[in-house]
Amino acid sequence: MAAVATTTPPVRVRRRPSVGRIAAWTVMGAIVLVTLLPFYWILRTALSANPALAAHPGDPLPVDFTLGGFERALGLQSTAEAIAQGGAGGGLKFWRYLLNSVFVSTLITVCQVFFSAMAAYAFARLRWRGRDKVFALFLAGLMVPSIFTLLPNFVLIKQLGLVDSLLGIALPTMFMTPFAVFFLRQFFMNIPREVEEAALLDGAGKIRVFFKVMLPMASTPILTLGVLTYITSWNDYFWPLMVSYSDSSRVLTVALAIFRAQTPQSGYDWSGLMAATLIAALPMLVLFACFARRIVSSIGFTGIK
């Protein structure tokens, strides 16, 4: 960034912006617009009333402003009220699904990142027989598309009696993904050996070195990996759809798809649907906003996901 600012050519460019540069900024502006407009449209629709939406489909502002959509999505309205406003009778048990999503995503993220970091450390820094062969085996796992393991994993989860449970949703990705191990190993290998050896000379054991030296030094990649894992598991739909059948294990994505399928014959409850999507997406938007700066700059290293 600094390099761009300090070289001389930009000064010349700034004095007389070229046609190409203006065109490039126009394209960039269009991209930002296309990226962000759907977000605005979610909000605008969520704050509108259904009959007014049908009457003024092109109005850029919320029409007949109401919070009814959010009330329906959160299940705060009575059935009669909901139907009167163009919604379906059964709302979302939102808090339940939110809690399920938080539980599953947190369990997967914490365990997966921690166990993968342990394995990555063993692959990067410990000496043991067969290390490279085992690592090659893990890497080969990177080549198996997740779709392929889903059906047999479902059979396994069923045999374990964990169908329709949160643990059943979390279990397959709780211990590792080849990607997480591969990614963290790269980072551990780049930490200078001297740092580790200094700690060892001070009498620290390797377990201590792992917790007190390696983990803190890799905090940014671990954070990035963690947030990406959280987003991925939060947004996952196919696997939870297979495993969960009832409210007790239903996560937000699955609930949302059901809410969409419940729409009354007369037409979609767009206001309620958009309110629900907004609520489902909000935690990720907030999470991202908190860490955006660090994640955006280190996402390159994460590469290949």
Partner 1 sequence: MTIASSSPPPSLPLRGAEGAPTTPTARGARTREDGGDGRLAALFVAPAMLGFLVFLLWPTLRGIYLSFTRYNLLTPAEWVGLDNYVRMVNDPIFWNSLWVTVEYVVINIGVQTVAALAIAVLLQRLSQSAVLRGIVLAPYLLSNVVAGIVFLWILDTQLGIGNEIIGALGFDHIPFLADEHWAIPTIALINVWRHVGYTALLLFAGLQAIPNDMYEAAKVDGAGEWRMFWRITLPLLRPVLAVVLIMTVIGSFQVFDTVAVTTQGGPANATNVLQFYLYGAAFGRFQFGYASAMSVALLVVLTAITIIQYRLTRAGRTDLG
Give the shortest CB-6-to-partner 1 separation in angstroms.
11
CB 88 → partner 1: shortest distance, Å?
Answer: 14
Smallest gap from residue 118 Cβ to partner 1 (A): 4
Between residues 174 and 218, which has the closer beta carbon with respect to partner 1? Answer: 174
Q: Nearest approach, Cβ of 151 to partner 1 (angstroms)? A: 6
Comparing CA positions, the residue from 125, 107, 100, 116 lying closest to residue 245 is: 100
Q: Which is nearer to partner 1, 80 or 147 (CB)?
A: 147
Q: How far is the CB of 148 from partner 1 (least distance, A)?
A: 5
Of 192 and 203, which has the nearer Cβ to partner 1? 203
Residue placing its CB nearer to partner 1 in the complex, 78 or 126: 126
Under a CB-based contact definition with an 8 Å cutoff, are residues 150 and 169 in contact?
no
**Which lies closer to partner 1 via its Cβ, residue 51 or residue 89?**
51
Q: How far is the CB of 110 from partner 1 (least distance, A)?
A: 12
Residue closer to partner 1, measured from CB, 83 or 118: 118
